[in-house]
């Protein structure tokens, strides 16, 4: 299994707005081969730190998604988000290989 996380720290007053965006996400990724799950998780101490946690069958499955036209379209929409304060936030992306369960 392959896990990809993308963490952002948003202005505290925008936290609920960002959570709402993810609650209404397009779910386009869900149909991709090798996709297992998507979760938006919130730091319990720093409520404005949000992490997208995605699980994939393999690194290859994730890379196929990351190189797809759909991925590009979704991330282009994020760059054009009307709230420029949110559009300008750069996430910290980390990738993990599951080595034991």
- For residues 79 and 87, the answer to whether their CB atoms sit within 8 Å is yes
d(CA 30, CA 97): 20
Per-residue pLDDT at 39 exceeds 70: yes
pLDDT in tens, 81-101: 667 777 778 899 999 999 999
pLDDT of 75 higher than 90: no
Q: Say what the pTM is.
A: 0.88
**By the 8 A CB rule, do 7 and 91 touch?**
yes
DSSP bridge partners of 49:
9
Domains and CATH numbers, the chain: 2-97 (3.30.70.100)
């Amino acid at each position: 299994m392959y896990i990809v996380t993308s963490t952002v720290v948003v202005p505290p007053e925008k936290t609920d707005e960002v959570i709402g965006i993810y609650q209404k996400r397009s779910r386009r990724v869900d149909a991709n081969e090798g996709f297992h799950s998507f979760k938006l998780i919130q730091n319990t101490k720093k409520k404005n730190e949000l992490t997208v946690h995605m699980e994939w069958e393999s690194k290859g499955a994730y890379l196929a998604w990351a190189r797809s036209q759909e991925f590009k379209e979704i991330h282009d929409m994020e760059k054009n988000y009307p709230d420029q304060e949110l559009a300008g936030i750069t996430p910290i992306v980390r990738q993990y290989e599951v080595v034991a369960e």
